[in-house]
């Protein structure tokens, strides 16, 4: 497993304002696969992604990247682990506005003090189709181009796993499809591992497996998903997880 959580509990707030965002979730994210996390709004998708990626800490349970238990790391070592071993893609691209596309792509590796693998970066630049936009700053790029920069940036350090939170949430469907195809290629052709939160059954259709959350619990999973099947399963969950289990077909 590239990453996993075991018996993961995340509670926000205390007393009357307490929200149990993750309620004993155990799940692994296999290396060399694209896993999608779906579920209704508020079901804990982003919380699971953030805790698995070391952006936030669990209240109880364990989160692991490879063989490293994140609970054993202090904040400084957790930051280093994120820099050195994880790639991130966010809905809002999160590029540095004053840097060019090329500088954005190599920034995390530069920050980690690592050697930039020039050949690999050139491969990524061609893979995401940005060769003719490298000297542009983010404001001079379309949303789809910005997200392709963000994806190349996430992959630049050959991370053990890329975590993507609604990577196509700000893109139209055609541009979103381009980004999803690139994530698929990163897995199939570059042996990368991607974990993606999405609301979109079409996006989930690019995954090897879809995990379904409801009320902070893992309620179902689907191998080799197709968008129609994912949509059906989602509709069932909108009427409660019990309905989802009863109505969902095989996985």
Would you tell me which residues interact with ligand ATP (CB under 6 A)? Answer: 12-13, 19, 21, 39, 41-47
Q: What are residue 87's DSSP bridge partners?
A: 162
Beta carbons of 57 and 79 less than 8 angstroms apart: no
Q: With respect to ligand ATP, which residue has the nearer C-beta, 10 or 85? A: 10
**Burial grade of 232 (CB within 10 A; 0-12, 13-18, 19 or more):** middle
Q: With respect to ligand ATP, which residue has the nearer C-beta, 50 or 85? A: 50
Q: With respect to ligand ATP, which residue has the nearer C-beta, 45 or 233? A: 45
69 Ramachandran zone, left/alpha/beta (phi>0; psi -120 to 50): beta
Other residues' Cβ atoms within 10 Å of the Cβ of residue 41: 6
Q: With respect to ligand ATP, which residue has the nearer C-beta, 20 or 33? A: 20
Q: With respect to ligand ATP, which residue has the nearer C-beta, 22 or 101? A: 22
Torsion of CA 156, 161, 164, 168, to 10 degrees: 70
DSSP state of 122: H
Q: With respect to ligand ATP, which residue has the nearer C-beta, 81 or 213? A: 213
* Shortest Å, Cβ 56 to ligand ATP: 8
* Shortest Å, Cβ 17 to ligand ATP: 8
* Shortest Å, Cβ 95 to ligand ATP: 21
d(CA 216, CA 26): 11
At residue 36, the 3 state secondary structure works out as: strand
Torsion of CA 178, 182, 188, 194, to 10 degrees: -110
* Shortest Å, Cβ 23 to ligand ATP: 10
Q: With respect to ligand ATP, which residue has the nearer C-beta, 37 or 141? A: 37
* Shortest Å, Cβ 114 to ligand ATP: 31
At residue 31, the 3 state secondary structure works out as: coil
* Shortest Å, Cβ 36 to ligand ATP: 13
d(CA 160, CA 114): 15
* Shortest Å, Cβ 99 to ligand ATP: 28
């Amino acid at each position: 497993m590239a990453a996993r959580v075991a018996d993961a509990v995340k509670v926000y707030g205390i007393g009357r304002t307490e929200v149990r965002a993750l309620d004993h979730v155990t799940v692994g994210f296999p290396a060399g696969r694209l896993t999608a996390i779906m579920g209704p709004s508020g079901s804990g998708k982003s919380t699971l992604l953030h805790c698995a990626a070391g952006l936030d800490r669990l209240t109880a349970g364990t989160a692991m990247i490879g063989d490293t238990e994140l609970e054993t790391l202090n904040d400084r070592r957790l930051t280093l682990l994120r820099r050195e071993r994880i790639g991130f893609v966010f809905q809002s691209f999160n590029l540095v506005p004053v840097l060019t596309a090329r500088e954005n792509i190599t920034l995390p590796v530069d920050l980690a003090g690592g050697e930039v693998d020039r050949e690999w970066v050139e491969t990524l630049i061609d893979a995401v189709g940005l060769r003719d936009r490298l000297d542009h700053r983010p404001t001079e790029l379309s949303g789809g181009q910005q997200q392709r920069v963000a994806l190349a940036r996430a992959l630049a350090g050959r991370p053990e796993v890329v975590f993507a939170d609604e990577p196509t949430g700000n893109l139209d469907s055609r541009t979103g499809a381009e980004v999803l195809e690139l994530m698929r290629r990163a897995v199939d052709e570059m042996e990368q591992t991607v974990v993606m939160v999405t609301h979109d059954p079409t996006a989930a259709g690019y995954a090897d497996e879809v995990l379904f959350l409801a009320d902070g619990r893992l309620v179902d999973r689907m191998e080799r998903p197709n968008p129609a099947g994912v949509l059906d399963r989602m509709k069932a969950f909108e009427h409660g997880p019990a309905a989802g289990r009863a109505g969902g077909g095989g996985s």
